[in-house]
Amino acid sequence: MILSLAPMEGLTGHIFRAVHAECFGALDRYYTPFLAPPHLGSGFGKRAMAELDPAENRGLDVVPQLLTNDAERFVWGAQVLADMGFREVNLNLGCPSGTVVAKGRGSGFLRDLEALDAFLEKVCAESPIPVSVKTRIGVAADEEYEQILAVYLRHPLAELIVHPRVQRDRYQGIPRQAAYGETLRRAPFPVAYNGDIFDCGDMDALLATYPATRHVMLGRGILANPALARTLRGGAPATREELERFHDKLFEAYFAEMGGNVVFRMKEWWSYARCSFANPLSVHRRVRKVRKVEEYQAAVHDIFRKEELAAAPRFTWSC
Ligand SMILES: Cc1cc2nc3c(=O)[nH]c(=O)nc-3n(C[C@H](O)[C@H](O)[C@H](O)COP(=O)(O)O)c2cc1C
């Protein structure tokens, strides 16, 4: 079974990937949060280069993800990535953000299937490296997926990762796993599942219904419980010492990159990581108001000294 880390803008970038792999072991594959492809004839900007730098991704199988509806720019970006040594490029057809969707990108591209068909025709023919896709199943209604899937089935995709929600769901509601099952049954190319796999029970249920599953992408589950992939493979849950070491290394690495802004970045991580504790609300209250690095460090010291770990850590919105 392939276990990969989901692309999550602002959360699972190169720093998170490296620190997580060091503390909890590498996952089989990692996807970068979405990047805009460079303009024709130029290279990626500084921020994207930090994400793609081979030195930052050493030892990890990283697939860059591009967000665009411009086939020429995608092919150019894929060429630049191929020259850097990447062996696959992923297309984002899932981003639900209003501004992205309004430009016909991410899940907004699913509104114009003729254009998507032509885009895939060109990029699959001209990209120097295989093209995989991460998709939602529609914009407004599940019924859209029949036609969307028909488009995918016409192209030689390297892999199709299905997050079975529609754009309007954002990240709410229950993923419609049947849409993934249908894809798995019909696609001639590899298919991966993504969405709400937060503990062993979730994985067991997926595998019981879809035993042919070969690749599961994990997102919020890993943020809430960094030992999730290990426990899915039968390993031990995270100890307090492991969590604290992971936290400290993450903090140090972000601090080196962004100085005092580290507090805001870490607070975003805590909005998921608090699920590792028995009383997530209490953890939330301790970090909620801190602004300065010293206040933050004192709050975190208290969390690791005073808060109990959850017996069964699991991401939920309410935690
Ligand atoms: C804060 C945040 C940022 C995300 N950024 C991206 C992204 O850059 N590219 C992408 O394809 N999906 C992105 N996603 C979606 C995740 O990759 C994943 O599909 C989603 O969280 C569902 O998986 P999960 O239930 O395992 O978390 C993002 C999700 C969140 C919550």
Mean pLDDT of the chain: 97
Ligand 1 center–CA 66 separation, angstroms: 14
For residue 319, the model assigns a pLDDT of 82
For residue 141, the model assigns a pLDDT of 98
Q: What percent of the chain has pLDDT over 90?
A: 99
For residue 67, the model assigns a pLDDT of 98
Q: What is the DSSP string of 132-196?
A: EEEE-SBSS-GGGHHHHHHHHHTS--SEEEE---BGGGTT-S---HHHHHHHHHH-SS-EEEES-
Is the Cβ–Cβ distance between 90 and 64 less than 8 Å?
yes
Looking at per-residue pLDDT, the higher value among 318 and 304 belongs to: 304
Ligand 1: residue of 171, 198, 225 to mutate (most ligand atoms within 8 A of CB) is: 171
The two three-digit tokens of residue 39, written as one number: 């303009």
The two three-digit tokens of residue 150, written as one number: 């028909």
Q: How far is CA 208 from CA 55, 162, 200, 211, 214, in A?
A: 40, 18, 12, 6, 13
For residue 172, the model assigns a pLDDT of 94
- Residue ID of nearest Cα to ligand 1 atom 6: 8
- Residue ID of nearest Cα to ligand 1 atom 14: 8
Ligand 1 center–CA 96 separation, angstroms: 10
Ligand 1 center–CA 104 separation, angstroms: 18
Indicate whether 318 pLDDT > 90: no
Ligand 1 center–CA 115 separation, angstroms: 24
Q: Residue 68 is which amino acid? A: T
Ligand 1 atom closest to the CA of 92, numbered from 1: 11
